């Protein structure tokens, strides 16, 4: 089963603007070391997650909170993988695991790194697609579930606004809020995404942020103002939401994709709004929710998926050959649903 060659998507150079496939990242084949030391495992990767925050890891920034990628080395992110060799008693050959996998056919996991992998019990009989474990049942899902629970203070009848609402996190946030009786407003970057939000996800209102004025759209769709803004975008979206937020409004700041690609950031000119309205803006990373909430999250959202209360759309690129383009496309909003690269079949 194990090949000595290993196809990878690697960082070629540090981009300043939008990365270009072939220039800043690209496919590369290297040799695989299949000889395991004690507690090491060898993985055959099935799916890896394509996330906005990975753009930051392409920068040459030694002080970044999340360590960057090295030139010539593969990208890595949440992945679903099959254990094909093991010298670690926690993992049997054939187990399906989730953890930080390389964007490559095979990942040789060190003893230290093996702590970050967990077995998906019953994976081969799973009623949900295995890619769910890096999406709606993985870190993107936990980002939404954990931050709403910790900081959203959701109350029935309140109004929540979600930007990037058809994306990996937004889809789940909107449906969780709807299930708790909130009025849910979403925006996305195309008319078909807006239609998906309204018809499939049953949002109360949705609009295409590229058409018309964001502030006017918010004012018309949220006549009683906003209580929560779930922000994956920053910039003009955040500025507009601050205008429409109510007293004691909450902003959950989960991403700031409007600046990730080195476009000049739109300066926020109305932060004084937070004072009179006693708004809280809270930056969040999923890491903070893993210990206390991961089990609750998988139980609750898993049940909703089985009930059909929550649905989840993925945009799957087939093969590492198409992975670099899928990543660049995701940064530009070309994906429709959670972006994933499928590396191999189980």
Nearer to a copy of itself (CB atom), residue 181 or residue 283:
283
Nearer to a copy of itself (CB atom), residue 121 or residue 264:
264
Min dist CB 193 to a copy of itself, Å, is 23
Nearer to a copy of itself (CB atom), residue 278 or residue 299:
278
Distances (CA, A) of 59 to 65, 155, 326: 12, 40, 19
Min dist CB 149 to a copy of itself, Å, is 15
Q: Is 117 exposed, middle or buried (0-12, 13-18, 19+ CB in 10 A)?
A: buried
Counting other chains too, the contacts that 203-206 makes at CB distance below 8 Å and 24 or more residues apart are 203/165, 203/174, 203/178, 204/178, 206/165
Nearer to a copy of itself (CB atom), residue 64 or residue 346:
64
Nearer to a copy of itself (CB atom), residue 122 or residue 267:
267
Q: Map residue 344 onto helix, strand or coil.
A: coil
Min dist CB 136 to a copy of itself, Å, is 21
Q: Map residue 53 onto helix, strand or coil.
A: helix
Nearer to a copy of itself (CB atom), residue 128 or residue 259:
259
Min dist CB 264 to a copy of itself, Å, is 8
Q: How far apart are the first and last CA of the chain?
A: 13
Distances (CA, A) of 286 to 66, 113, 254: 12, 19, 9
Question: Contact 226/214 with Cβ under 8 angstroms?
Answer: no
Burial per residue of 87-112, b for 16 or more beta-carbon CB atoms within 10 angstroms, e otherwise = ebeebeeebbbbbbbbbbbbbbbeee
d(CA 109, CA 98) in angstroms, rounded, equals 12
Counting other chains too, the contacts that 189-197 makes at CB distance below 8 Å and 24 or more residues apart are 189/333, 190/333, 190/336, 192/336, 193/165, 193/166, 193/336, 196/166, 196/313, 196/336, 197/165, 197/166
d(CA 291, CA 101) in angstroms, rounded, equals 20
Min dist CB 308 to a copy of itself, Å, is 32
Min dist CB 61 to a copy of itself, Å, is 10
Question: Residue 148 gets which letter from DSSP?
Answer: I
Residues that bind a copy of itself in the complex, under the rule CB under 8 A? 56, 64-66, 234, 238, 247, 253-256, 259-260, 264-285, 288
Q: Is 149 exposed, middle or buried (0-12, 13-18, 19+ CB in 10 A)?
A: middle
d(CA 191, CA 168) in angstroms, rounded, equals 18
Nearer to a copy of itself (CB atom), residue 56 or residue 329:
56
Min dist CB 218 to a copy of itself, Å, is 15
Nearer to a copy of itself (CB atom), residue 85 or residue 147:
147
Min dist CB 250 to a copy of itself, Å, is 10
Min dist CB 52 to a copy of itself, Å, is 11
Nearer to a copy of itself (CB atom), residue 245 or residue 301:
245
């Amino acid at each position: 089963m194990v090949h000595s060659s290993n196809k990878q998507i690697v960082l070629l150079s540090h981009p300043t603007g939008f990365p270009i496939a072939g220039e800043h990242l690209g496919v590369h084949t290297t040799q695989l070391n299949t000889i395991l030391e004690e507690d090491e495992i060898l993985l055959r990767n099935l799916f890896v997650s394509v996330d906005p925050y990975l753009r930051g890891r392409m920068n040459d920034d030694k002080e970044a909170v999340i360590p960057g990628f090295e030139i010539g080395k593969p990208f890595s992110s949440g992945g679903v993988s099959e254990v094909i060799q093991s010298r670690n008693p926690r993992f049997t050959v054939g187990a399906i695991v989730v953890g930080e996998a390389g964007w490559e056919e095979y990942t040789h996991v060190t003893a230290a790194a093996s702590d970050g992998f967990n077995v998906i019990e019953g994976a081969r009989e799973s009623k949900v697609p295995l890619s769910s474990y890096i999406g709606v049942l993985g870190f993107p899902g936990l980002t939404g579930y954990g931050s709403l629970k910790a900081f959203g203070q959701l109350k029935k009848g309140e109004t929540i606004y979600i930007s990037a609402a058809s994306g990996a996190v937004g889809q789940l946030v909107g449906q969780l809020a709807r299930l708790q009786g909130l009025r849910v407003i979403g925006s996305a970057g195309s008319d078909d995404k807006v239609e998906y939000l309204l018809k499939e996800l049953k949002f109360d209102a949705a609009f295409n942020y590229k058409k018309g004025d964001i502030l006017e759209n918010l004012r018309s769709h949220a006549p009683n103002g906003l209580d929560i803004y779930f922000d994956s975008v920053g910039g003009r979206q955040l500025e507009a939401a601050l205008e429409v937020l109510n007293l004691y409004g909450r902003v959950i700041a989960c991403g700031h994709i409007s600046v990730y690609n080195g476009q000049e950031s739109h300066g926020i000119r109305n932060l004084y709004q937070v004072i009179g309205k006693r708004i809280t803006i809270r930056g969040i990373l999923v890491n903070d929710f893993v210990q206390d909430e991961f089990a609750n999250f998988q139980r609750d959202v898993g049940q909703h998926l089985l009930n059909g209360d929550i649905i989840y759309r993925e945009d799957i690129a087939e093969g590492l050959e198409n992975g670099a383009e899928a990543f660049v496309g995701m940064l530009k909003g070309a994906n429709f649903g959670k972006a994933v690269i499928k590396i191999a079949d189980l």
